[in-house]
């Protein structure tokens, strides 16, 4: 399948999606989002894909929603077509997905990165929600996810002023899991993704689902959910294999069963 705005590759068990609208700093238009969703759906169906890396260019992960496309949108069109809702697919993608962010991750770019499971940042990354400078506010989850990542005070400051955050601050405040030098970003993201993809896929998916539950429920409910899912893992062949391999002092051979 040929795409106009993204590059899709397979590296072993890892799916690699590179946003590729360099002239517009990977601004997210509806065509790009459609292509991204299609590529993700294919990786979701592919039994041989265990993890996905989503990245951009050295200058921009994505500079937000395409302002030129969005500028003439009317309220009625936005409402009728449920504008932005199709972007949420990334947050519902069931396999592990890592955002490898270099350069600008602004507005919808920051929101897209936050929909992934975690963010590996290059040392030149800049995160922000500058929508207020355009006369709007974040509309793809930014007011909610950024607040959960960095807390109310910092999220409020960023959304109300449009201030951007560098990679060091993003790591310090919990938005990025780690910062690596720019020239090592992709290699490191692929290495981490390969490690995840070598584990049991259903167990990784259940782990992801359980961690995400922490955002949606009380501690008691979350722990109950974790316990049920944890118990269910003892019905898997991969649990038997993982523990037998430890006891027998050998590497496990997970079969995703
Ligand atoms: C999803 C929602 C609902 O949350 C809404 C949003 O995401 S709103 C968008 C939020 N993002 C922004 O406001 C960032 C806009 N871009 C910039 O501020 C700057 O481009 C920059 C600081 C990221 C980089 O500046 P600079 O290096 O000077 O490059 P530019 O010359 O400005 O940009 C190069 C080229 O890219 C086009 N561009 C950049 N961002 C966007 C965008 N978000 N939408 C459409 N096009 C964008 C820019 O217009 C330039 O193209 P040309 O005009 O030269 O053709």
* 38 is a catalytic site residue: no
- Tokens encoding 73: 């949108």
Beta carbon of 56 within 6 Å of any ligand 1 atom = no
**Sequence spans of domains, the chain:** 6-197, 200-248
Dihedral (CA of 221, 227, 229, 230) sign? positive
Pocket-testing residue among 23, 61, 63, 70, ligand 1, by greatest number of atoms within 8 A of Cβ: 63
Instruction: Give 222-245 pLDDT, tens digit per residue.
Output: 999 999 999 999 999 999 999 999
Beta pairing class for 6-11 and 14-19: antiparallel
Nearest CA to ligand 1 atom 51: 24
Q: What is the pTM of this model?
A: 0.97
pLDDT band for 84, please (50, 70, 90 cuts). Answer: very high
53 membership: H or E segment, kind and range: strand 51-55
* 111 is a catalytic site residue: yes
Contacting residues for 179 by C-beta, under 8 A, at least 6 apart: 121, 122, 123, 125, 167, 168, 170, 171
Give me the interface pTM, i.e. the ipTM: 0.98
CATH number given to 6-197 = 3.90.226.10
Q: Which superfamily does 200-248 belong to?
A: Lyase 2-enoyl-coa Hydratase, Chain  A, domain 2 (1.10.12.10)
Beta carbon of 140 within 6 Å of any ligand 1 atom = yes
Eight-state DSSP code of residue 28: B
What is the whole-number distance in angstroms between the Cα of residue 134 and the centre of ligand 1?
11
């Amino acid at each position: 399948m040929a795409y106009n705005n993204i590059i899709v590759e397979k590296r072993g068990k890892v799916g690699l999606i590179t946003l590729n609208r360099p002239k517009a700093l990977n601004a997210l238009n509806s065509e790009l989002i459609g292509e991204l969703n299609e590529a993700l759906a294919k990786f979701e169906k592919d039994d041989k894909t265990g993890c996905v890396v989503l990245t951009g260019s050295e200058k921009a992960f994505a500079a937000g929603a395409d302002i030129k496309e969005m500028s003439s949108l009317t309220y009625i069109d936005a409402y009728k077509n449920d504008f932005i809702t199709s972007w949420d697919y990334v947050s519902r993608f069931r396999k592990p997905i890592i955002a490898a962010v270099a350069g600008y991750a602004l507005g919808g770019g920051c929101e897209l990165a936050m929909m992934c499971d975690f963010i590996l940042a290059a040392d030149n990354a800049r995160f922000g929600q500058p929508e207020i400078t355009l006369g709007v506010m974040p509309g793809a989850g930014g007011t909610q996810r950024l607040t959960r990542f960095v807390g109310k005070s910092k999220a409020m400051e960023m959304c109300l002023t449009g201030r951007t955050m560098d990679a060091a601050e993003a790591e310090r405040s919990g938005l990025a899991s780690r910062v690596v030098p720019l020239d090592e970003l992709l290699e490191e993201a692929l290495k981490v993704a390969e490690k995840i993809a070598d584990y049991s896929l259903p167990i990784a998916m259940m782990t992801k689902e359980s961690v995400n539950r922490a955002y949606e429920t009380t501690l008691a409910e979350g722990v109950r959910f974790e316990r049920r899912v944890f118990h269910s893992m003892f019905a898997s062949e991969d649990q038997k294999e993982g523990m037998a391999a430890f006891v027998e002092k050998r590497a496990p051979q997970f079969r995703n069963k």
